[in-house]
Each structure stands twice: as structure tokens, then as C-alpha cells.
Amino acid sequence: MSTRKPNPRNPARKHTALPKAQTLIEALPWLTRHHGRTVVIKFGGNAMVDEELKAAFAQDVVFLRHAGLRPVVVHGGGPQISTQLERLGLESEFRAGLRVTTPETMDVVRMVLAGQVQRELVNLLNQHGPLAVGMTGEDAHIMAATKHLAQVDGESVDLGRVGRISSVETGAIEALLDDGRIPVISSIARSADPGDGGVYNVNADTAAAALAAALGAETLMVLTDVEGLYADWPSSDDVISELTAAELEKLLPELSSGMVPKMEGCLYAVRNGVHTARVLDGRVPHSILLEIFTDEGIGTMVVPDALPEPRTAGENEPQEAEGPA
């Protein structure tokens, strides 16, 4: 006589997990395509200040790492910097949409980015294992920058310690990736002038694009607070699913100021070796996974002119915006 016990599970429910299996199967070609590839993610928008979205972001990045991708996170911290400046009684001044960064303000920028925003993000990632390592662009000479002068009414305006990236050294980042780590980079750069000895506040969209190009990344992903690039905003809320670099370049003069640095970063990336650049709605939980591992994807994808690729298939330098974003 058999001693096997009957299956305690309800036979009527035995196929309820099929949708999960179908989701995994849908992700298979994308897992294959992206395996071993570097993905640079610019962390910002509501995803940076909402607790649930921050936790979902950390889960997504760790998932990418365990799925065989090589994620690199770049972040700014504009809202956190403004809050800290206000607490210290320091004024947040902007010229042409850019944060004026005095030496005193730069000290606060450095403290907030490396000591607050980065540490919180590293801790969230490391809840899932000893994976994340925090760095700033000044560490190991990762990023060097020169002074960025804003144009106001046709005249150059000195914004203090606001920089434009002049060079990127990827050795330290690549060593971390080869070791299975997740680099988390704050958008601060050392001065390219040996006689300066200071650091610069660099826009995080710009920093992410420059790092993606230098690393030869498969894709650049920019999290923001809109669904993507709108076709005719504010007349329409239709999102452009995909466009080429040339098509994007024609649209740049018409874009709102908040989208310009993001889209200029995407344009720079795809024209400097990055396969695709994507702008995603960071207000959507797990937007990164939805974009990379589903057939439809979300947001807007920019592709090089010479390599247009439909979403269903398996040297304009970006400009700085309001300090770190």
C-alpha cells in the first residue's frame, strides 16, 4: 500500500501562479540580451523622497544585479540641499535656472550628497546584501570638471562652484562592477585645474550621461516626475515612446526647462556609444523593471540615428541645470 499523502493543495488553484510564470518568460529575451551589460541609472524626482518608491528603486537595482546586469547609480539631491541651506539660514540663489554655488554652499552640497542622500541609498541597497559602495565623482579622480558659466541676456555669468564635466576615469567603477558591487556615485567632481584644488557641483543628469558614455553602457535610464517626453505639451499628454537622436535634437529648443538637461543627457549618451537612453516616470513603482524586462516598456526611449531599434526587439554635450537634480 502506498504511503504517499494526498496533495494538500487545492487542485482548482494549482494554475493560479501561471501569470507569474508568463511574466518571467516575457523577461527571458531581455535577460539574455542585457546579461553582463552595464546600466547607468540617474536617481531623482519623487523616487528620491518617497519612502515606498525609494524601497522599490532599491529592489529594482538589486534585481538587476542578481539578474546578471551591472547597475551603476548616479544621484544628485537638489531638494535636500535646498532644505539644508534653509536650515542653516543660507539663501538658495538661482541664475538662468542654475544654483549659484558659493564655497560655503559647496560645503553644504558636499555634506548633503555624500553624507545624507548617498548613505541612505547605500543602506537601502545593502538591506539585500553587501552590494552597494558609495563614492563621489572626486574619489579616484572619477570625474573632473571646469567652471560652467551661465548665459544671461547674452552675457556670461559666474555661478561659483558649478562645473561642466571635462573628463571621466572609470577604473574604480569598473573594478567595483567586476567585483559584483553596485557603485553609487554622488554628482560632485574635482577641479580639472591642478592649481585649484577644489570641487564642483555638477548636475546629476549631466554626470550620469557622461559616466554612461565613458563606461560604454548598454543603456542610460533617467528617473523623473513625468511619464516621459510629451509629443505636444501642454496641449497633449501623449508620450513619445521612441525617437532617434536627430528627432530629439529638433525638439530640444521647444522643451520645458526641466526636461532640457535630461534630454540633452540622453542625446549626448546615444551619440557617444550608449545603445539606448530612456526617461522614465519615477513615480511608478518598479518602473526600471517594467522598462527593461517587458515587451511594451514605459517612458521614452532615445536611440542612435544609425542604429534605430524597435522597442519590441529583444556631439551635443549636455548642459548643467539647477545644481544636482
Q: Which residues carry out catalysis?
A: 42, 45, 78, 205, 262
CA dihedral 209, 212, 216, 217 (to 10 degrees): -120
User: Which residue matches cell numbers 539663501?
Assistant: 91
* Alpha carbon distance 176, 122 (integer Å): 14
Of the candidates 57, 63, 38, which has an alpha carbon nearest to the alpha carbon of residue 220? 38
CA 315 to chain CA mean position, Å: 20
What's the chain's Rg over C-alpha atoms?
21
- Per DSSP bridges, beta strands 98-99 and 94-95 are antiparallel
Angle at the Cα of 242 (from 67 to 56), degrees rounded to 5? Answer: 35
Sign of the C-alpha dihedral, residues 171, 174, 176, 178?
Answer: negative
Which one-letter amino acid corresponds to residue 146? T
According to DSSP, residue 240 is labeled P
Q: How many CB atoms lie within 10 A of CB 307?
A: 11
* Alpha carbon distance 240, 299 (integer Å): 8
